[in-house]
Amino acid sequence: MIQYFASLNFMTLIKVLPGDIAQGLIWGILALGVFITYKILDFADLTVDGSFATGGAVTVMLVLSGVPTPIALLAAVLAGCLAGLVTALLHTMLGIPGILASILTQIALFSINLNIMGKANQAVSVDQYRLVLSSRFNAQAILSGAIFVVLIIAALYWYFGTEQGCAIRATGCTPSMAKAQGININTMKILALSLSNGLVALSGGLTAQYQGFSDINMGRGAIVIGLAAVIIGDVLFTALLKKRQNFAVRLGFVVIGSILYYIVIGIVLWLKMPTNDMKLFTAIIVAIFLAVPYLKERSRSSFSRAGRNGGTQNA
Amino acid sequence: MKKTVCVLLALALMIAMTACVGGTSANTSSPSMTSAAASSETASSSSAAASASSSGTASSSAASSSASASDKVYHIGICQLVQHVALDAATKGFKEALIAKLGEDKVVFDEQNAQGDSATCATICNQFVADNDDLILANATPALQAAASATSTIPIIGTSITDYATALNLKDFSGTTGTNISGTSDLAPLNDQASMLEELFPDAKTVGILFCSAEPNSYYQASVIEGILEGDGLSCSEYTFTDSNDVSSVTTTACAESDVLYIPTDNTAASNTEVIKNIAVPAGIPIICGEEGICSGCGVATLSINYYDIGYAAGEMAYDVLVNGTDISTMAIQFAPKVTKEYNADICKTLNITVPSDYTAIAAN
């Protein structure tokens, strides 16, 4: 046991962090997309599993045919917006419940992605093409990722302060009141879903470049990671900054939540746990993470304090 | 309290940034430890050994055991895509080859499994690069691609990969990649498999090729064998399922429309052989499989390669690179050393198929 702890090398953990931070930043963009639908619009959007892979597929296929990478990423964003549009139309025009509409789109996107890529897996080598970022150069990847994240948070902060953005927030908050105020909630849902899935597709395109390939199943479980990041960010935000801070800080914490999730995976791998149990340990560590602030809060609430200090004497 | 937490987090981020900018010249001396799969308490080789620096980088280690190669302990990172009988056998062969050649206390394996998630492969390979491992074994295509993207200096040996050209998107592939990648392939000669199908079922007219659409290796084998079979006058159709959930419906359709089925070396099919057997055998449709594991589950015959053998060959290639200093960019991809014609006795009996005498029965276990 002591041998095991002695064998863990802390320096290795520090050296692994850059890669985890880079991945966390890229998936943070996905988390921002999930934040828009899950927190702002209050819509459980499972399309992300599909649109993430769509972003990767479109980016890789365009890069392979010689299109400059930034344009390929732009095309990926548009493809993601289309996917979000389909989900929104299924929900608003055909009346299909939101979560079901998103599942339908996700299933359809599997076939569409296969058609885009032609096969299940497509490699794009950083040696042959000019990519925006790659796991080979983690420092530059962190820089590029950070630039993307900052620009996106700034854009989102501006957008959700505009009238249209506020209308989206109202739709998510109380649809019936928003409708009563004259906001077209169907249009707002379409806008929010398109925007969200566009961001997710961008994240998929960046991930495909980072890991050097695009795979048909790369989006599987993406919604779980996105939600975990959003919730970790939210919990941290309320734990560290009690007062309601501004929106940009909240968005920043969403990305920090994603980075933390990947650092947790990095720690679990570093701990050299039996490989079968990696996902179990990740879940346990994330659960502890989320539970501690809640338990601290409960133990500090005035009722429990009264119970501890006073009890029956003061009743 | 909150402010101190914020400051600590910021400090941690800064350390991480300087670590990555400081980059590969940082040295770690990590005590060796046995792989996580085995129980670590029995490690006798707990002596501290200087970590090996990755080949090619100019980092100099004060404690490096450059004096004699026999003192050096090699750190090997193994990235396997998913738990699976064939992939596990390849990893086992690789480890046993290296332990046999180097000695058990001269090599330390860091065995990681991506649980079927290709994005985790990137995280695992990032870990190996940060650890400065001497060599990386990439078991399955996404692992190879993630490793290729993570490093261009650490030698990467691939195994259980059907076609390196498709996996790495190489044009004009002639057997060597010309980069830090080499390895062994699990491709059994497809024209021999096609001949086997025609030999056993000369009256068959339509062949259904059943595989998972999410596996690029299966696509490759399907398209090649389709070309061969259609050249011989048979008509082929592809039947693809997306994952374990649609296997039964797609197999039922395939059985209804074909005389014979062919399943390439497909990981998802290998996990679902019971389902396939329960549909094909009552329908009386024989299946030719790409490898032994699938054949023992649901097939009639196969031209089998042994995944343990290709893993072992990969281990020998790794030894070559590590100890003999062979340049990995000149090492050609190796294929399975021997192929055996095998048949599944039970299913052959149920379907009343007689196999020629040069086939060996798959041992039931």
DSSP string, chain A: -HHHHHH--HHHHHHHHHHHHHHHHHHHHHHHHHHIIIIIS----TTHHHHHHHHHHHHHHHHHTT--HHHHHHHHHHHHHHHHHHHHHHHHTS---HHHHHHHHHHHHHHHHHHHHSSSEEE--TTTS--S--TT-HHHHHHHHHHHHHHHHHHHHHHTTSHHHHHHHHHHH-HHHHHHTT--HHHHHHHHHHHHHHHHHHHHHHHHHHHTEEETTTTTTHHHHHHHHHHHHHHHHHHH--S---HHHHHHHHHHHHHHHHHHHHHHHHTT--GGGHHHHHHHHHHHHHHHHHHHHHHHSHHHHHHHHTGGGG-
Q: Is residue A267 part of a domain?
A: yes
Q: Which residues of B touch A17 (CB under 8 A)?
A: 15-16, 19-20
- Give pLDDT tens digits for A25-81: 999 999 999 999 999 998 989 999 999 999 999 999 999 999 999 999 999 999 999
Q: Which residues of A touch B20 (CB under 8 A)?
A: 15, 17-18, 138-139, 142
Q: Determine, for residues A4 and B33 on separate chains, whether the beta-carbon distance falls below 8 Å.
A: yes
- Whether the Cβ atoms of residue A138 and residue B20 lie closer than 8 Å to each other: yes
> pLDDT at position B19, please?
58
Q: Is residue A308 part of a domain?
A: no
Q: Is residue A314 part of a domain?
A: no
Q: Determine, for residues A14 and B15 on separate chains, whether the beta-carbon distance falls below 8 Å.
A: yes
Q: Are residues B291 and B311 in the same domain?
A: no
Report whether pLDDT(A221) > 50.
yes
| Paired sense of beta strands A213-215 and A121-123, if any | antiparallel
Q: Determine, for residues B19 and A18 on separate chains, whether the beta-carbon distance falls below 8 Å.
A: yes
Report whether pLDDT(A281) > 60.
yes
Q: Is residue B43 part of a domain?
A: no
B 24-83: CB under 8 A from A? 26, 28, 30-33, 36-37, 40-41, 43, 46, 80, 83
* Nearest alpha carbon to residue A260 among A23, A11, A34, A14: A23
Q: How many CB pairs under 8 A join A and B?
A: 184
Q: Is residue B289 part of a domain?
A: yes
Residues A190-199 have a mean pLDDT of 96
> pLDDT at position A70, please?
93
Task: Give CA B213 to chain center in angstroms.
Answer: 18
Q: Is residue B63 part of a domain?
A: no
Euclidean distance between the first and the last CA atom of chain A, given in angstroms as a whole number: 50
Q: Residue B149 is nearest to which of A121, A134, A265, comparing CB atoms?
A: A134
- Whether the Cβ atoms of residue B141 and residue B167 lie closer than 8 Å to each other: yes
> pLDDT at position B12, please?
75
Q: Is residue A302 part of a domain?
A: no
Q: Are residues B247 and B277 in the same domain?
A: yes
Q: Residue A3 is nearest to which of B40, B127, B131, comparing CB atoms?
A: B40
Q: Is residue B115 part of a domain?
A: yes
The dihedral region occupied by B299, where left means phi > 0, alpha psi between -120 and 50, and beta the remainder, is: beta
* Nearest alpha carbon to residue A6 among B40, B197, B64: B40
Residues B173-188 have a mean pLDDT of 85
Q: How does DSSP classify residue B284?
A: T
> pLDDT at position A6, please?
67
Report whether pLDDT(A121) > 80.
yes
Range(s) of the domain holding residue B176: 72-186+305-334
Model confidence at A314, pLDDT cuts 50, 70, 90, reads low
Q: For the ranges B53-67, B73-87, B163-177, B306-320, which has the lowest average pLDDT? A: B53-67
Q: Is residue A36 part of a domain?
A: yes
User: Of all residues in chain A, what percent carry a pLDDT higher than 70?
Assistant: 96
Average pLDDT value for chain A: 89
Q: Is residue A158 part of a domain?
A: yes
Q: Determine, for residues A16 and B41 on separate chains, whether the beta-carbon distance falls below 8 Å.
A: no
CA distance B151 to B144: 11
Q: Are residues B356 and B232 in the same domain?
A: yes
Q: What is the number of domains present in chain B? A: 2
- Kindly report the CATH number assigned to the domain that includes residue B106: 3.40.50.2300
CA neighbours closer than 13 Å in the CB half-sphere of residue B132? 27
Q: What is the number of domains present in chain A? A: 1
Query: How close does chain A come to B39, measured CA to CA in Å?
Result: 9
| SS3 call for B162 | coil
Q: Is residue B271 part of a domain?
A: yes
Range(s) of the domain holding residue A171: 2-296
Q: Are residues B216 and B350 in the same domain?
A: yes
Q: For the ranges A40-49, B69-78, B195-204, which has the lowest average pLDDT? A: B69-78
- Kindly report the CATH number assigned to the domain that includes residue A89: 1.10.3470
Q: Determine, for residues B149 and A265 on separate chains, whether the beta-carbon distance falls below 8 Å.
A: no
Q: Determine, for residues B36 and A275 on separate chains, whether the beta-carbon distance falls below 8 Å.
A: yes
Q: Is residue B91 part of a domain?
A: yes
Burial A165-201 (b: 16+ CB within 10 A, else e): bebbbbbbeebeebeeeebebeebbbbbbbbbbbbbb
Q: Which residues of A touch B222 (CB under 8 A)?
A: none
Q: Is residue A304 part of a domain?
A: no
Q: Are residues B182 and B198 in the same domain?
A: no
Average pLDDT value for chain B: 79
Model confidence at B41, pLDDT cuts 50, 70, 90, reads very low
Check if B169 contacts A (Cβ < 8 Å): yes
**Radius of gyration of chain B, Cα coordinates, nearest whole angstrom:** 23
CA distance A217 to B214: 7
- Whether the Cβ atoms of residue A31 and residue A255 lie closer than 8 Å to each other: yes
Q: Is residue B249 part of a domain?
A: yes
> pLDDT at position A115, please?
92
Residue B75 pairs in a beta bridge with B108
Q: Determine, for residues B41 and A128 on separate chains, whether the beta-carbon distance falls below 8 Å.
A: no
Residues A216-224 have a mean pLDDT of 88
Residues A299-309 have a mean pLDDT of 80
Q: For the ranges B50-54, B135-139, B302-306, B319-323, which has the lowest average pLDDT? A: B50-54
Burial class for B261, CB neighbours closer than 10 Å (0-12, 13-18, 19+): buried
> pLDDT at position A236, please?
86
Q: Are residues B346 and B251 in the same domain?
A: yes
Q: Are residues B232 and B317 in the same domain?
A: no
Q: Are residues B181 and B195 in the same domain?
A: no
Report whether pLDDT(B303) > 60.
yes
Q: Is residue B254 part of a domain?
A: yes
Sign, CA dihedral B282-B286-B290-B293, equals positive
Q: Is residue A189 part of a domain?
A: yes
